[in-house]
């Protein structure tokens, strides 16, 4: 399926959709308990074990199997720490446990970005204004051109290069996100407005760098180069992986964008609808879902960002059924397909947009791009209606 027009729902339908999703959320919230607490503690235990064994093995990093094993364990540990634990805990998914170690507003994660800044740029800005051009700063992170609606500039020719660099240094890209460099560049704000943000990034980033690239290597004495290389590789692996997963959440073909005007008087049901149309899922096995921090269930995550993420798989069938009932797409596909379509988009948008159909120019900006190259390989967008 290459093109479709956005499903038109009446206000009553949108309200009913909101009620159904609220009811589903309420049911899960009522059911939260020991099972969920045990789950997150089990994952934390696994992460800690991977981290300690990874660091330990890297001290014997002069032996190739120890280096490979240690690096892999540390990379997995960081992926779990950032995605299934950090991202989800900071969303408030486990606040109901009242465990001070899992409080959303005080949690810190093993990456350069300070938790407070992430909570602002991600939990508030991105999750409230999902896919609203000009408001959701996750559309291109202020660096990439990710939408036809973003005016093409000559420097966008570097889109694929910037994307590659962002992927490789993703933890730093995320750390600098709340600086809003593009607004500083546009003269809307000054560097001095961001002094506190910069100081916090410096404090957090310095500790992360010291730990991974100075102190742990130094502790290994003559083995320092092996530890340094292992830590660099683990961080790089985590960066590439999280970039891939995150970019598959909102940029595959078929995901819709919105204008500020469209969401001006949005109701709760309208917000739910936008989350559904603006997110895409990844299919895969249990391990894949875990390593994606269950962001493979991006649609469920955007509908219910503060429900424990391991519940998303359980409610996915119901969410999908709701989509079908309202004639809404449920954008889902395997990683290679979804990421392939993201890569294509990044490359295509490096070039100025071709003349668009008058209808598109008139404002149906959310109609997905005609994608001749991707014909027949589009995502599994189920539209029943």
Partner 1 sequence: MTASSAPPAQRRLGTRLLRSRFVDLLLGPHGVDRYLEVVRPTATVSDARGEVIDVCRQTPRSATVTVRANAAWTGFRAGQFVRIGLEIDGVRRTRTYSPAGSEYAGRDALELTVTAHPEGLVSRHIVAALEPGTVVHLGAAQGEFVLPRPRPRRLALISGGSGITPVMAMLRTLCDEGHDQEIVFLHHARRPEDWLYEDEVRALARRHPRLRVVYRATRGPDAGPRLTPESLRDVLAVGPEAWVAVCGPPALLAGARSAWSELGGSRDHLLAETFTTPPLAPAGAAAAAGTLHFRRSDRRSPIATGTLLEQAEAAGLSPDFGCRMGICHTCTCRKAAGAVRNLRTGEVSSEEDEDIQLCVSVPAGDVALEL
Please state, in angstroms and rounded to a whole number, the distance separating the CA atoms of residues 382 and 317: 13
Asked if 216 is part of the footprint of partner 1 (rule: CB under 8 A), the reply reads yes
Asked if 110 is part of the footprint of partner 1 (rule: CB under 8 A), the reply reads yes
Asked if 52 is part of the footprint of partner 1 (rule: CB under 8 A), the reply reads yes
Give the interface segment with partner 1, choosing from 118-126, 169-177, 221-229, 280-288 (CB under 8 A). 118-126
Q: Out of 249, 254, 278, 305, name the contact with partner 1 by CB under 8 A.
A: 305
CA 380 to chain CA centroid, Å, is: 20
Q: Out of 23, 34, 261, 265, name the contact with partner 1 by CB under 8 A.
A: 34
- Spell 61-100 as b/e; 16+ CB within 10 A means b: beeeebbebbbbbbbbbbbbbbbbbbbbbbbbbbeebeee
Give the interface segment with partner 1, choosing from 34-42, 171-179, 288-296, 356-364 (CB under 8 A). 34-42
Closest CA relative to residue 137, chosen from 53, 282, 127: 127
Contact 253, 376 (CB under 8 A): no
Q: Which is nearer to partner 1, 126 or 145 (CB)?
A: 126
Closest CA relative to residue 198, chosen from 177, 168, 212, 171: 177
Q: Out of 4, 63, 202, 215, name the contact with partner 1 by CB under 8 A.
A: 215
Token pair 């990093």 in the structure block, residue: 61
Asked if 135 is part of the footprint of partner 1 (rule: CB under 8 A), the reply reads no
**94 bridge partner residues:** none
CB of 182 to partner 1, least distance (A): 20
Q: Which is nearer to partner 1, 117 or 292 (CB)?
A: 117
Asked if 84 is part of the footprint of partner 1 (rule: CB under 8 A), the reply reads no
Please state, in angstroms and rounded to a whole number, the distance separating the CA atoms of residues 283 and 359: 33
Which residues in the 264-283 window bind partner 1 by CB under 8 A? 268, 271
Q: Which is nearer to partner 1, 124 or 191 (CB)?
A: 124
List the structure tokens of 157. 């020719």
Q: Which is nearer to partner 1, 44 or 72 (CB)?
A: 44
Q: Which is nearer to partner 1, 61 or 379 (CB)?
A: 61
Asked if 28 is part of the footprint of partner 1 (rule: CB under 8 A), the reply reads no
Sheet of strand 331-334: strand arrangement: 281-283, 331-334, 380-381
The continuous run of DSSP H or E covering 381 comes out as strand 380-381
The strand pair at 331-334 and 281-283 is best described as: parallel
**Cα–Cα distance list, 275 to 130, 255, 296, 324 (Å):** 7, 10, 14, 15
Q: Out of 33, 56, 225, 352, name the contact with partner 1 by CB under 8 A.
A: 33
Q: Out of 3, 11, 19, 45, name the contact with partner 1 by CB under 8 A.
A: 45
CB of 310 to partner 1, least distance (A): 13
Please state, in angstroms and rounded to a whole number, the distance separating the CA atoms of residues 374 and 365: 20
Please state, in angstroms and rounded to a whole number, the distance separating the CA atoms of residues 113 and 305: 20
Asked if 25 is part of the footprint of partner 1 (rule: CB under 8 A), the reply reads yes
Asked if 56 is part of the footprint of partner 1 (rule: CB under 8 A), the reply reads no
For partner 1 (CB under 8 A), the number of binding residues is 49
Please state, in angstroms and rounded to a whole number, the distance separating the CA atoms of residues 320 and 78: 31
Residues near partner 1, by CB under 8 A:
22, 25-26, 29-30, 32-38, 44-45, 48-49, 52, 91-92, 95-99, 101, 103-105, 108-110, 119-120, 123-125, 127-128, 204, 207-208, 210-211, 215-216, 268, 271, 305-306
């Amino acid at each position: 399926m290459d093109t479709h027009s956005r499903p038109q729902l009446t206000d009553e339908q949108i309200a009913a959709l909101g009620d159904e999703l609220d009811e589903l959320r309420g049911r899960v919230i009522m059911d939260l308990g020991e099972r969920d607490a045990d789950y997150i503690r089990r994952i934390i235990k696994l992460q800690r074990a991977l981290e300690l064994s990874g660091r330990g093995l890297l001290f014997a990093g002069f032996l190739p199997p120890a280096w490979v094993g240690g690096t892999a364990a540390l990379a997995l540990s960081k992926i779990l720490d950032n995605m299934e634990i950090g991202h989800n805990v900071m969303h408030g998914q486990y606040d109901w446990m009242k465990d001070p170690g899992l409080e959303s507003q005080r949690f810190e994660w093993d990456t350069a970005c300070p938790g407070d800044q992430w909570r602002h740029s991600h939990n508030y800005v991105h999750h409230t204004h999902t896919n609203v051009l000009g408001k959701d700063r996750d559309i291109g992170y202020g660096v990439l051109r990710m939408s036809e609606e973003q005016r093409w500039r000559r420097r966008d020719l570097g889109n694929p290069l910037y994307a590659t660099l962002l992927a490789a240094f993703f933890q730093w890209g995320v750390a600098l996100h709340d600086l809003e460099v593009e607004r500083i560049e546009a003269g809307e704000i000054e560097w001095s407005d961001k002094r506190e943000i910069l100081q916090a990034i410096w404090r957090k980033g310095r500790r992360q760098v010291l730990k991974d690239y100075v102190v742990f290597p130094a502790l290994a004495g003559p083995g320092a180069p092996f530890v340094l290389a292992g830590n660099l590789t683990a961080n790089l692996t985590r960066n590439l992986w999280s970039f891939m997963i995150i970019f598959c959440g909102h940029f595959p073909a078929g995901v819709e964008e919105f204008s500020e005007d469209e969401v001006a008087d949005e109701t709760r049901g309208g917000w739910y609808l936008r989350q559904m149309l603006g997110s895409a899922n990844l299919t895969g096995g249990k391990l894949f879902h875990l390593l994606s921090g269950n962001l493979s269930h991006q649609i469920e995550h955007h509908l219910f960002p503060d429900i424990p993420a391991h519940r998303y798989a359980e409610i996915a069938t119901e969410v999908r059924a709701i989509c079908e009932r309202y004639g809404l797409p449920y954008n889902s596909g395997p990683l290679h397909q979804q990421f392939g379509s993201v890569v294509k988009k990044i490359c295509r948008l490096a070039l100025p947009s071709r003349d668009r159909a008058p209808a598109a120019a008139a404002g149906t900006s959310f109609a997905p791009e005609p994608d001749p190259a991707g014909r027949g390989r589009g995502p599994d967008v189920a539209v029943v209606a």
